[in-house]
Structure 1
Amino acid sequence: MTRVDRASLVLGLGIGGFIDGIVVHQLLGWHHMLSGWYPDDLHVNMIGDGLFHLLCLLLVLTGVVLLNRSGPRPARVLWGGVLAGWGVFNIVEGVIDHLVLGVHHVRHGPHEMAYDLGFLVLGAALVAAGMAIGKVRPASGARR
């Protein structure tokens, strides 16, 4: 993996976290970061969400620094890595927070396992799409 691939992957992890936090936590209101452990404590959940967003910001800033140091690359490498990073975020967060620790679920209620599994499927699809888009193609006439 080249430095730009790592940079875009780290950037995608942070962006994926922001998308999850902004859309699922704040706009849809399906859960907060710690709502599985502290379902009735909005203050603790807001602090958990804030720490989560701070981690996402640190990932994005780290990705930008790495990208700045790596030199020019095709846009498909950047955006493929960002998609793959978002997918890795979904898979790691979905397995650890949703399934193993039960910190929260994508959407609490009677179909929470279906939402959690859908989140993992979306993550796998994003990784696959990102890898396909970001694949570095050999130059014309180059050997494989």
Structure 2
Amino acid sequence: MGALIGAAVMAAVDEIVFHQILHWHHFYDRSTPGIGLLSDGLLHTAELIALVAGFFLFADLRRRHALAPAHARAGLFLGLGAFQLFDGIVDHKLLRLHQIRYGVDVTPYDWAWNIAGLVLLLAGIALTVRAGRLAGTRPAGS
């Protein structure tokens, strides 16, 4: 649930900032501008569906008093970092769907994007370990 929300939030940040505000790229840049815009719309749709689904899962866990906030926070950071690294490595480099920016040396952009994603992912891992330790120190039934 937290990871789903995190991935959706990072997809939204990417799509809003880099696709819409800065106009640096579209999700799929290997065709016409119209197809690029369509791909952005499909990404936005998927991101909104994931966000709504994640919050429905969050609400259900909360309603059932089964929500573990520390694990949810950890999942959020795992999702943020995983999306960003997937986008930076798979979408940008392996599939070459788009680059972060065109007409410039992309190396600093790639490093910044992927290092930021790695930092978020490592924060999520650290929070997951911490949440597991906290859960292990609580008395049963609390």
Q: Into which bin does the TM-score normalised by the smaller protein fall?
A: 0.7 to 0.9
Q: Map of 1:1-144 to 2, 5 A cutoff?
A: 7-35=1-29, 37-38=30-31, 41-71=32-62, 72-134=66-128, 135-136=130-131, 137=134, 138-139=136-137
Q: State the distance in 1 between where 2:90 and 2:125 align.
A: 23
Q: How many residue pairs align between the two structures? A: 133
TM-score w.r.t. the length of structure 2 is: 0.82
Deviation at 1:42, TM superposition (A): 2.3
Sequence identity percentage: 27
| Structure 2 residue aligned with 1:4 | none
Structure 1, gaps ≥5 residues long: 1-6
Dislocated runs of 4+, deviation >6 Å: none
Q: Alpha-carbon deviation of 1:110?
A: 3.0
Q: Give the C-alpha shift of residue 60 in structure 1.
A: 0.9
Superposition TM-score, scaled by structure 1 size = 0.81
Shift of residue 85, structure 1, vs aligned partner: 0.4
The Cα offsets for residues 74-104 of structure 1, whole Å up to 9 and x where unpaired, read as: 5443233212201100111111110011111
